[in-house]
Chain A
Amino acid sequence: MANLPLTGIRVLDFTWVLAGPVATRILAAMGAEVIKVERKSGYIAPRTGIHGDLNRDKLSIALNMSAPGAIEIAHRLVRISDLVIDNFSARVMRQWQMDYESLVKIKPDVVCLSMSGFGHTGPRAAYVSFGPTLQAFTGFTLNMADEHGRPAGFSYSYSDSAAGFTGAMAALFGLWRQRQTGQGQFIDFAQFEGLVSLVGPSLLDLTINGRSQKPQGWRSQEAPAAPHGAYRCRARGDDDDRWLVIAASTPDQWRNLVRVMGSPDWAAQPLFATLYLRMRNHEELDAHISRWAANQDAEDAMAKLQQAGVPAGLAANAQDCCARDPQLAARGFWPTISLPEGGQTQVCGIPFKMSHTPVGVRRCSPIAGESNDYVFGELLGLSPAERAELIEKKILWP
């Protein structure tokens, strides 16, 4: 622990569901001591699966914030923490007297990061939101239409992942300034605004050029490319949902693509002679490439194209990524962690390596309340009798 980037930093974590736990999972992997405040119910969240993946490396206390007297205990935890983080809408932390205005009185240099859906001000401050609704409201769902014009968007909460990353950055900025100046502050992170900021250059096309933004389909959103698309490949066993993405921008990439395809006659036609012509005639081009791809195994074709210098990649499914991808395996991106009940599981790694202070996964996800003894005993110095009294008063779950 001593040589991790965030050694010595303690985080009191009130987040739940997804965006918040993504943020604190990153801080935990970097060595912060993250104390997750949880309720204890009949349902015991597993150490594996998505919940396990999100909460590894964290500690868990079972503290009933609604019980009289719980706030005093929470405030004692704030006094020994550097960062308090939540992803509720604005009113929840206020009700618990856990908002920045309350906490700064008992811990003047505290950093409070609130990751609400729409922020603490404005007409929508109280709105309830989840990743899919934020994506819809921002425009991702409608502007990611399929080729028939139907809205599609993400089938998962990309917004929560992105908000988790953005929240981790915001937390680190707040903590860094605290370290440098001894001053805390409040960070109002509206996940909606974070997501709007990720729409990208299209936003400037809208606000500056005044251009209405249509779904872009498979048109390249960076350097012009043709072909640029996902092409259906041969089935793998009984799985016929295999696709290969190919992107050719430079004359060399086009030449090499044609060579890998066996230099077919159609590729020599004048209508494919330049990048501009290939883009203008991309429907015919895509039809030719599709016919070629239909007889290819997606992974073999990817390897052949890449070895010829043509950017190409399989549309990988979870099994491809987690069990078959040689690159992710070689870099140890799916670390194995052991479970105290026996057995082990694999989880998602941290997508960067640091030469001097290696970060990574160390511990599996805790069961709710698993760290009560350490946190209330060792950190707060409560005797076993005092802890028993808190359990008696239903402030702590046993």
Chain B
Amino acid sequence: MPEQSVLTGLRVLDLTDHKGALCGRILADMGADVIKIEPPGGDAARRIGPFLDDVPHRDRSLFFWFYNLNKRSVTLDLSCPQGTGIFARMAAAADLVIESFAPGRLAALGLGWDRLRQINPALILCSIAPFGQTGPWRDYEANDSILAALGGMLYVCGYPKERPVRPLGLQAYHSGCHYAVIAIMGALFARDRSGAGQWIDVSFQEATASAVEHLAGRYFGENDIPRRYGTMHWFRGFRVARCRNGYVMHSISGDWNTLLEWARGDGKAQELTEPQWSDDSYRRANCERLYQILDEWVKDKDRDQLAERAQTLRLPYAAVRPIDELACDEQLEARGYFVDVEHPELGRTFRYPGAPFRLDATPWRVYRRPPLVGEHTAEILGGELGIGAEELAVLNAQGVI
């Protein structure tokens, strides 16, 4: 048995689709027993690519793997009374249910909060929905792109007046799932005192809006509407420049004199010695010209040498790298970030991204590879819930599991 981790012993029923799957994944990484409840045939996320070796198959979706490492899987048809009956029995012995159905759907299945709290007063229910469980847009439909749009994230990505650039990765979902984990931990603290569970209502739209740092502060504080500024940071401290073999991120957020001396040492940027440039607010107000001068200075430099030299001067420059370089990044390598996970049924071992943070006494770890569809149905419903072999056979024949 592995040592006790942070959430060892916490029993979680994960009803989420691809939108909410990261929430259970993070809890599972911290040691919770997260049981993914999939409809017979498997979670729709298993149909989302990319696929292993580009062969579409429900047990080869890298999308599903990313969000479901460390979970177990049970198949259960919640659209029939036998299925909801079994779920109710599972809920009686669980600490937490996470769901991302359309609002009202769980209640329509007879498994709403009022019912679940009767079954188990200590149960925590976490509902994550595009717009939350209330309000005029409650029943509106959205994917991650639409949530990025309505959360204010999309509008500020890209070049002025041109088509906004779609953020990479499902960041609206990720933000919502982060907040779901945070709320769940809060509910555990509260339950520790009161013994009672509660219902958490997370809105992906709100989570997205709260991840756009300058949205509310600029609007309510300065009556300003931030726009798109290309690669320039809205506070003007950073902008991308082309260099000899790629791109670098300029920064005027470090020590100005250090930067100036360096550029002048290269015989460049003489114009910046004019006295007005020593004023930070002048620099920000005239940042277009400033970055033009700095761009001219770095255009023949080597990307990595430039970034390294800047770091020795404690200037926050960075190489602008493609995602691909993460696979051979020396910092990630030195810290052992990527981990190998064995998939015995395929006879292969794959590299997964590892711990997003390191708790030294209770480390993040891989407990099990992502589950095959219904891999643990018999072990959980039979062994742990105590449903007999005969009944399991009948449920299987009826398509309930």
B183-207 CB mask vs A (1 if < 8 Å, else 0) is 1011111101010101111110111
A190 at the interface (CB under 8 A from B): yes
Q: Which residue of B lies closest to A290 (CB)?
A: B163
Given contacts A5-B189, A326-B136, whether A309 and B141 have CB atoms under 8 Å apart is yes
Task: Specify which chain B residues have a CB less than 8 angstroms from the CB of A129 in the assembled complex.
Answer: 316, 318
B132-149 CB mask vs A (1 if < 8 Å, else 0) is 111111101111111111
Taking CB atoms and an 8 Å cut-off, the chain A residues in 152-182 that contact chain B are: 152-158, 160-162, 165-170, 172-177, 179, 181
- 12 A–B pairs (Cβ distance < 8 Å), ordered by A: A121-B334, A128-B254, A151-B240, A162-B171, A165-B175, A194-B357, A199-B169, A199-B323, A314-B150, A316-B150, A326-B136, A330-B136
A115-150 CB mask vs B (1 if < 8 Å, else 0) is 000110111101111101110111111111111001
Given contacts A193-B337, A208-B52, A349-B206, whether A318 and B226 have CB atoms under 8 Å apart is yes
Interchain CB contact under 8 A, B209 and A205: no
Task: Specify which chain B residues have a CB less than 8 angstroms from the CB of A161 in the assembled complex.
Answer: 175, 210-213
The number of residues on chain B lying at the interface, defined by a beta carbon within 8 Å of a beta carbon of chain A, is 153
Interchain CB contact under 8 A, B65 and A318: no
Interchain CB contact under 8 A, A133 and B318: yes
CA distance A144 to B159 in the complex (A): 12
Given contacts A122-B331, A173-B185, A203-B353, whether A311 and B224 have CB atoms under 8 Å apart is no
CA distance A165 to B224 in the complex (A): 25
B164 at the interface (CB under 8 A from A): yes
Q: Which segment of A210-218, A275-283, A384-392 sits at the interface?
A: A210-218
Interchain CB contact under 8 A, B318 and A313: no
Interchain CB contact under 8 A, A153 and B231: yes
Task: Indicate which residue in A165, A181, A247 contacts B211 across the interface (CB closer than 8 Å).
Answer: A165
Q: Which residue of B lies closest to A157 (CB)?
A: B213
B203-245 CB mask vs A (1 if < 8 Å, else 0) is 1011101111111111111101111111111100110100000
CA distance A153 to B323 in the complex (A): 12
Task: Indicate which residue in B65, B134, B322, B357 contacts A188 across the interface (CB closer than 8 Å).
Answer: B357
Task: Indicate which residue in B113, B155, B188, B318 contacts A134 across the interface (CB closer than 8 Å).
Answer: B318
Interchain CB contact under 8 A, A345 and B249: no
Task: Specify which chain B residues have a CB less than 8 angstroms from the CB of A119 in the assembled complex.
Answer: 331, 335, 358
Q: Which residue of B lies closest to A351 (CB)?
A: B206
Task: Specify which chain A residues have a CB less than 8 angstroms from the CB of B166 in the assembled complex.
Answer: 144, 216-218, 221, 230
Given contacts A165-B178, A354-B200, 12 further A-B contacts (CB under 8 A): A152-B157, A156-B233, A172-B182, A174-B6, A188-B360, A189-B357, A193-B357, A201-B66, A202-B169, A321-B219, A326-B135, A351-B179
